[in-house]
Amino acid sequence: MAREMRTFEQHLEDELHLLLDAQAPATIPAWRMPAQGSRRVLPLVGGAGAAVTAKIVTGAAIAVLAAGASTEILITHSANPIDWARNVQQQVQPSPRPQGGPHSQPTSAVHPSASSVGGGSPAVPPRVSPPSLPAITPPAVPSITPLPIPTLP
């Protein structure tokens, strides 16, 4: 049987040589040739490249969020996001304007073109204040009374 297999394998090898040896000296088709003068760029679209790219992007996003949170903690001295929002609300609300003084300017000097439009007074944007944050109290901690340990009679 080993001789029959050898002859079959020899037959296959001979047939392959007959078919492929004629093609070996031929040139490589143009569509299979690499482009002249261009570098080969490794694709990052599929496979391991995509996984590494996704990990890098995720890591960068987490680093940005951590940096923002740590900045807010340093500014407000609190890790509570509600305190962060209160701090922003305090910064957004306008400070009271001085009624008079050496550095105050009349409103017509601030907007010279506004007095010529109509009415004689400049257009003042309406004041919009953000809604106040609700006061949040933590829920009451339930009291737990221990059960008596049963004793054997």
Tens of pLDDT, residues 17-52: 888 887 776 666 666 766 666 555 555 556 778 888
pLDDT tens for residues 54-95? 899 999 999 999 998 888 888 888 888 888 888 888 888 766
Inter-CA distances, 147 with 140, 141, 142, 144, Å: 21, 18, 15, 9
pTM of the model: 0.31
Residue 135 has pLDDT above 90, yes or no: no
Specify whether the CB–CB gap between 74 and 83 falls below 8 A: no
Buried b (16+ CB within 10 A) or exposed e, 129-139: eeeeeeeeeee
- Report CA-CA distances (Å) from 64 to 23, 28, 58, 73, 83: 58, 50, 10, 14, 20
Element (H, E) at 74: helix 48-76
Closest residue by Cα to residue 130 from 94, 87, 89, 91: 89
